[in-house]
Amino acid sequence: MRGILRVAFKLLVNDRGKFAALIVGITFAVFLMVQLTSVFSGILTKASATIINVGASVWVMDPAVNNPLNSIQLPDYILDAVRSIDGVKYAVPLYSGVALVKLHDGVYQPATVMGLDDASLVGRPELIAGKIDDIFADNGFIVVKDEEFSKLENPEIGTTFEINDHRGVVVGIAKVASSTLFGIPTLYTTFTRAIQYIPSTRFTIAYILVEPKSDKDIPYIKNQVAQAGYLALTNTEFQQLIANYYKYQTGIGTNILIMTLISFLVGLSICGQTFYTFVLENLDKFGALKAIGAKGYELVYMILFQTLFTGFTGYGLGVGLCSLLIAVAKNKVPNYAADITYFNLGMAFLMVLIISGVSSFIAVRKVIKIEPFDIFRG
Amino acid sequence: MAEVAVQAVELVKWFGAEDIRTYAVREVSFEARFGEMLYITGPSGSGKTTLLSMISGILRPNSGTVVVEGKEIWRLSPNELADFRLHTVGFVFQDYHLFPKLTTAENVALPLILKKQDWDESLRLALEFLDVVGIKDRAQLPPSRLSGGEQQRVALARAIVSRPDILIFDEPTASLDGATGRKIIGFIKENLLNEHRCILIVTHDARIFEYADRNLKMEDGRIVEIVNGGMGGLSEA
């Protein structure tokens, strides 16, 4: 069988024009599919940045919340109610809001301010400079060193700034797993200072972070919170809620899906058409092979090999090209949102298999039907 | 008398639906023996190529039987029939049907590759047979770089490389000038015909009739005359 596949390989790659058209078609389609879905994954990851970075097991929130930055403040008594639920190891408040930071050049820069529970500092980021205790110092803030860090003029420990007409001092620099979607820097401080510095509504708790005694307690905690009229979600569920919001309620998901399908159809039509032409042009050769003694399944193997080889080569090139572009884009554009995930790669691979399969099917039908007698007749 | 290589019995082939049925071959019977170069001649549309296709396992007859080397070929399964064509029959098509994207040597090696022989060994044997037909020096060229006569020789080398017992030629000289055509047929008869091989040639090229051992003349799907030798032999039917 290796010999006949080698013949198939030579027939394919030696027809340079068609082979190039096939490779370009698949590469372009894969590039677009991976690029689009990676951008969407990047958006979802960045949209869930707060949840990923804070890392609490269970989040309690208002049922209307669909986005971590659009939190709806919770009454203080809910914190007490949650703490009293059996199975709760501890529950702490989290403040999340946006403030204006006045830079030295007079420019105002919006920043996300996260207020951590004063007693426990649950949800604090990992520091790369400074000491966490200094967050309790006068006007102490920790700055997250992510893609948006430079928007605060690359502050160092001791750098002062103005935030909502209050003085702020950088006491630590932290790193986080993911930067946020909206392209603004993030500051951490204590819950108490956050509500002092930032104008707040009557209620101040954005989320309650809960640590259950064990995973088995989570359903009960969720049920008790629901009875109080609020929503408790695990870390994963909260990320899924945000993902669903962006997928189904913002139009981003639909648009990405449509563009991905269009990319798939473009790839399918280019490859299907080109491969069909390739087979049509070689139909007499396949007929001759049949006349010489090739069996039907051997011709099917040849065609499958040709389409799969083209598909896999195009897939590799497409993924490589996309990775290169994303790497360059991330280097040049700090908040560029694109993550190539295994799911995206798997989905593009599946699409390539479908493209190869459909192209093969069209070609195989033609080749199987060719009668060697047609070759004799000329 | 030499052993029978091919026996066709009451072969019938028609095309088209029942109401517009066109008979291409009507109750044709004949035998071809090993060591014989048998011509099937006649005007266009007389059923020569259809007859050749049926006896080479390419076109199923509507009725009648074909026995090759004692085996009734139309009782074979599709895969067995493919094996029969691969192992027993060598074809030279009218338009050669060489693969332009393969080298000359690779074209010749195709039957061996289909027989699952090792790639390098197949190419080595292909070179041997290209040497036999006198174009070994063209082995690495694509067929498009060869002249018509050279392409004919490549097709010939491809047909004989697997040493088939039955060689089938469809209008082998149709696209060659008279001298080249005679040279090729002379070469075939002199070098390829032996007591273990039977050669069947469909042609209406009168310039090469002189090389035939027997000539089956067809008209309207029937054998109207069997001539022994070239055009001047004895008539059997």
A33 and A74, same domain (yes or no): no
> Which residues in chain A have their CB less than 8 angstroms from residue B95's CB?
284, 378
A209 and A267, same domain (yes or no): no
pTM (predicted TM-score): 0.77
Give kind and range of the element (H or E) at residue A300. helix A296-332
Establish if B93 touches chain A: CB-CB under 8 angstroms. Answer: yes
Q: How distant is the Cα of B2 from the closest Cα of chain A, in angstroms?
A: 27
Structural domain contains residue A246: no
Structural domain contains residue A203: yes
A126 and A82, same domain (yes or no): yes
* Model confidence at B97: pLDDT above 50: yes
The ipTM of this complex is 0.84
Question: Please, which residues bridge with residue A112 across strands?
Answer: A98, A186
Domain of residue A280, residue span: 2-46+251-377
pLDDT score, position A356:
87
pLDDT score, position B235:
38
pLDDT score, position B73:
94
pLDDT score, position A232:
95
A193 and A290, same domain (yes or no): no
Q: Is there a contact between A293 and B117 if contact means CB atoms under 8 Å apart?
A: no
A38 and A75, same domain (yes or no): no
A90 and A214, same domain (yes or no): yes
* Interface test with chain B among A11, A12, A278, A376, by most B beta carbons within 10 Å: A376
- Tell me the pLDDT tens digit for each residue of B180-205: 788 888 888 888 888 889 999 998 88
- Tell me the pLDDT tens digit for each residue of B199-222: 999 988 888 888 889 999 999 999
Q: Are A302 and A7 in contact (CB under 8 A)?
A: yes
Structural domain contains residue A242: no
* Model confidence at B236: pLDDT above 50: no
A224 and A369, same domain (yes or no): no
CA distances from residue A35 to A20, A259, A344 in whole angstroms, order as listed? 22, 10, 9
Q: Is there a contact between B114 and A10 if contact means CB atoms under 8 Å apart?
A: no
Residues 20-79 of B with CB under 8 A from A: 49-50, 52-53, 58-59, 78-79
A34 and A122, same domain (yes or no): no
* Interface test with chain A among B44, B48, B95, B99, by most A beta carbons within 10 Å: B99
| One-letter amino acid of B72 | E
A125 and A206, same domain (yes or no): yes
Q: Is there a contact between A7 and B102 if contact means CB atoms under 8 Å apart?
A: yes
pLDDT score, position A286:
87
A26 and A156, same domain (yes or no): no
* Model confidence at B234: pLDDT above 60: no
Give kind and range of the element (H or E) at residue B104. helix B104-114
pLDDT score, position B195:
83
Q: How distant is the Cα of B234 from the closest Cα of chain A, in angstroms?
A: 30
- Tell me the pLDDT tens digit for each residue of B48-66: 889 989 999 989 999 999 9
Sites in chain A below the pLDDT cut of 50? none
Structural domain contains residue A234: no
Structural domain contains residue A58: no
pLDDT score, position B230:
60
Structural domain contains residue A90: yes
The two structure tokens encoding residue B77 = 């399964």
Compute the distance between CA of residue A139 and CA of residue A160 in angstroms, rounded to an integer: 9
A212 and A275, same domain (yes or no): no
pLDDT score, position A69:
73
Q: What is the mean pLDDT of chain B?
A: 87
- Tell me the pLDDT tens digit for each residue of A209-244: 999 999 999 999 999 999 999 999 999 899 989 888
Q: How distant is the Cα of B52 from the closest Cα of chain A, in angstroms?
A: 9
Number of domain units in chain A? 2
Structural domain contains residue A360: yes
pLDDT score, position A333:
76
A181 and A256, same domain (yes or no): no
Q: Are A217 and A210 in contact (CB under 8 A)?
A: no
Structural domain contains residue A241: no
Compute the distance between CA of residue A98 and CA of residue A96 in angstroms, rounded to an integer: 7
Last residue of a domain, which of A162, A195, A229?
A229
Q: Which DSSP letter does residue A282 get?
A: T
| One-letter amino acid of B110 | L
